[in-house]
Amino acid sequence: MKKLLTSFLAVTMGLLITSCQQVDKSIKFNNLTKKEIANGKLTPKVLLKLRRISGSTVSPDGKLVAYSVSCQNVKNNSTYSNLFYANIDDTLNTNITSTNSGKNFSPQWNADGDAVFFLSSTKKGNQVFRISLNGEHKTQITKFEGGVNSFSVSPKGDKIWYTKSVKVEANKTDLYPSMEKSTARIYDDLLIRHWDYWLDGSYQHVFVADLTPKGLFDITDINEGEAWDTPMAPYFDASSITWNNSGSQIAYTSKKIKGKEYATSTNSDIFVFDIANKQTSNISEGMLGYDQYPTFSGDDSHIAWWSMERAGNEADKRRLFVANLKTNEKTYLTKDFDYNAEQLNWVGEDIYFIAPIEATHQVCKVSSKGNSAVEIISNGLHDLNLKGVTKDNIVVEKSTIDHPTEIYTLNRENKAETKISSINDDIFAHIKMGEVQKRWVKTSDGKNMLVWVTLPPNFDASKKYPTLLFCEGGPQSVVSNGWSYRWNFELMASNGYIVVAPNRRGLPSFGQEWLDQISGDYSGQNIQDYLSAIDDVAKEPWSDETRLGAVGASYGGYSVYYLASHHNKRFKTFISHCGMFNFESFYGGTEELWFPNNDLGGAYWEEGKTIKRSYDNSPNRFISKWDTPIMIVTGMNDYRIPYTQSLEAYTAARMKGVDARLLVFEDEAHQVFKPQNALVWHGEFFRWLDKYLK
């Protein structure tokens, strides 16, 4: 046996070195042990140490793809990343950078396609560098104190924009400079904190400069004096800023409103900054919802973006619009297409984009002239991210429930798939994954609902398995056929559980009516959809209806709390992560108030039928019915659903005499990201489930 394991490890190491192009010259690239690889099972440690692709970008000639691969270092509780490129024609992958500490990410091609610009971590923060494809001639472009957060070099390579934090408004330190030990924060208006940070008078601004061999010149803050973020908080997504093809203009998304209006409205706009005259124009003025992710046509005459109609509804339809930059005439291209349009990419007069369709993400195409219907290009049970369109191929990042992201091309003529990267194949060659079934379930009101069912590896239909109901968060986020590093269905299945993941009411990819239904009806039809899904699967001879559990985060955490008092003894245990428990205190503690205003109907002190129904059905109103063991998880830096919601629920459960466990992370927010915290999270997750369901 020892000889067999040694032989196995040698083969695995060889595969790993080939896949990673000897980035670390050993299996320590992931710190995977013999046992972790050899037992053939997906475990939390293996999941955490899988390599992760991001930032794929196609070279100017369409022949190469550059991308970043990140890895978790559990011992150091950190992440490191390196750059690679792949040849689309022969799928040869080659590393550009080689490190086992620090981060190299966000690659962008130079105009000649023989080098990439990228961000790299330094003692002064993330800075922009340039490096040749062979890993030589590494040059630092920016050297700003505090670093930069994102960047892009113009198509001609003569200019650069970058984003960095700028102090715009005074805070406590400025008002009381001699009180340096005071921890006071002083506010006179909303918003006071966002996602996981307190507002301190600093905002993200876009700077543009001439890029020369001698450095940056003629630096201009295009948001000078503005007390709002570009790109927008809290995600600061650089994809919402783009060059035109001549390098003469920059389009960006910003939400240029303040205070209470900012906290209660989603009204952002598309702005175009002209570098020559330093003038800014608002392309989407008068359009009241989110307007985001602009992209220029090839001749710079038009600009496309997605737009939401209703200010305050963050889950409104993402409508594809095009504007003529000379006349400002706007055309709504997806009026007859009942799905979102995302990740826009111009090709001639056509616009390629990604749409969520029936719990998958597919590549679509529509003419910018507005004279044709949307064409759905791809098909299959997968999630696709659009990374570029070449003469012959569509380049995508693809993932499924049973496999993490890899880079693929789709032939534009015959739609044939070709796999370009294989960063985890050496690992998955030795891990048994469970079967994923697509199941249509009839809901209580006679609708058809898509449900993903993941079976344990080596599934035996003659046995009975404990079964988990997964409750999605959002609430308006699709339960897609894609990979997750947090709520991973295959990991749950590998621990012997059947996983039931319904696309209940309120989720995208089934039309706007299906999506909108949940707003104002949290305790209604979508809760019945959950029960329809678990009841349908529990009837199977291989599902043990005496060993059912329900788990979920955010809105899914609320769902767990509500089901705990309305499940009619179906479930034996629950796990709620960062869930809404008390709607009144949640309204006073959260930050983006447009969300409860839209989904709960308004503030708890206001009048209205929807408001009354929402707050009357807050989970804290039904504690008298709680009698089932529950584990509650939260992060103390969570300002979206403050951790006090979880404390309220835990206190109520213990005072009611319900067996309960509280798991708190002092340095996490709404999700758990740090490697060691993630392993503790998974350890407690399965320890709790195993206690009551096995």
Res. 14: pLDDT tops 70: no
Query: Is residue 347 in a domain?
Result: no
Percent of the chain with pLDDT over 70: 94
Question: What pLDDT, in 10s, does the model give residues 409-423?
Answer: 999 999 999 999 999
- Gap between the Cα atoms of 436 and 336, Å rounded: 32
Q: At what angle do helices 525-538 and 555-563 cross, to 10 degrees?
A: 70
CB 63 within 8 A of CB 89: yes
- Gap between the Cα atoms of 665 and 656, Å rounded: 24
Residue 477, exposed/middle/buried by CB under 10 A (0-12, 13-18, 19+)?
middle
- Chain length of the chain: 694
Query: Is residue 457 in a domain?
Result: yes
Active site residue 670: yes
**What per-residue confidence (pLDDT) applies to 32?**
65
Res. 46: pLDDT tops 50: yes
- Gap between the Cα atoms of 299 and 244, Å rounded: 9
Confidence of residue 21 (pLDDT cuts 50, 70, 90): very low
Closest among 425, 345, 424, 347 to 385, alpha carbons compared: 345
- Gap between the Cα atoms of 267 and 251, Å rounded: 17
**What per-residue confidence (pLDDT) applies to 175?**
83
Query: Is residue 619 in a domain?
Result: yes
Paired tokens of 216: 């940056």
Query: Is residue 582 in a domain?
Result: yes
Paired tokens of 594: 């447009």
Question: What pLDDT, in 10s, does the model give residues 565-581?
Answer: 999 999 999 999 999 99
Task: Report the amino acid identity of residue 430.
Answer: H
Res. 642: pLDDT tops 60: yes
Dihedral in degrees, nearest 10, Cα atoms 508, 512, 518, 521? 180
Rounded average pLDDT over 28-51: 77
**How many C-beta atoms surround the C-beta of residue 439 within 10 A?**
15
Question: What pLDDT, in 10s, does the model give residues 581-594?
Answer: 999 999 999 999 99
- Among the options 577, 638, 646, 682, which is catalytic? 638
Query: Is residue 445 in a domain?
Result: yes
- Among the options 302, 361, 670, 682, which is catalytic? 670
- Gap between the Cα atoms of 690 and 692, Å rounded: 5
**What per-residue confidence (pLDDT) applies to 179?**
87
Res. 19: pLDDT tops 70: no
In the β-sheet with 215-221, what is the strand arrangement from edge to edge? 150-153, 159-167, 202-212, 215-221
Rounded average pLDDT over 429-449: 97
**Rg from Cα positions in the chain:** 25
Active site residue 484: no
- Gap between the Cα atoms of 266 and 240, Å rounded: 15
Res. 376: pLDDT tops 80: yes
CB 329 within 8 A of CB 335: no
Confidence of residue 372 (pLDDT cuts 50, 70, 90): very high
> Is it true that the peptide bond before 231 is cis, omega within 30 degrees of 0?
yes
Question: What pLDDT, in 10s, does the model give residues 316-326?
Answer: 999 999 999 99
Percent of the chain with pLDDT over 90: 90
Query: What CATH number is associated with residue 605?
Result: 3.40.50.1820
Rounded average pLDDT over 291-300: 98
Res. 266: pLDDT tops 70: yes
Confidence of residue 159 (pLDDT cuts 50, 70, 90): very high
CB 608 within 8 A of CB 597: no
Question: What pLDDT, in 10s, does the model give residues 222-262?
Answer: 999 999 999 999 999 999 999 999 999 999 999 999 999 99
Query: Is residue 505 in a domain?
Result: yes
State the chain's mean pLDDT as an integer.
Answer: 94
Question: What pLDDT, in 10s, does the model give residues 198-216?
Answer: 999 999 999 999 999 999 9
Q: What are the CA-CA distances from residue 624 to residues 499, 559, 585 (Å)?
A: 29, 17, 19
Which one-letter DSSP state was computed for residue 373?
-
CB 548 within 8 A of CB 571: yes
Range of the domain at 492: 432-693
Question: What pLDDT, in 10s, does the model give residues 62-101?
Answer: 999 999 999 999 999 999 999 999 999 888 899 999 988 8
Which residues make Cβ contacts (< 8 Å) with residue 513, sequence separation at least 6? none
Query: Is residue 19 in a domain?
Result: no
Res. 24: pLDDT tops 50: no
CB 54 within 8 A of CB 70: yes
Res. 689: pLDDT tops 60: yes
Residue with tokens 């190491």: 13
Confidence of residue 34 (pLDDT cuts 50, 70, 90): low
CB 476 within 8 A of CB 517: no
Query: Is residue 651 in a domain?
Result: yes
CA 497 vs. chain centroid, Å, equals 25
**What per-residue confidence (pLDDT) applies to 27?**
34
Res. 424: pLDDT tops 80: yes
Rounded average pLDDT over 391-407: 97
- Among the options 554, 614, 618, 646, which is catalytic? 554
Confidence of residue 513 (pLDDT cuts 50, 70, 90): very high
Which residues make Cβ contacts (< 8 Å) with residue 312, sequence separation at least 6? 264, 265, 266, 289, 594, 597, 598
**What per-residue confidence (pLDDT) applies to 38?**
66
**What per-residue confidence (pLDDT) applies to 30?**
55
Rounded average pLDDT over 393-408: 98
Counted domains in the chain: 1
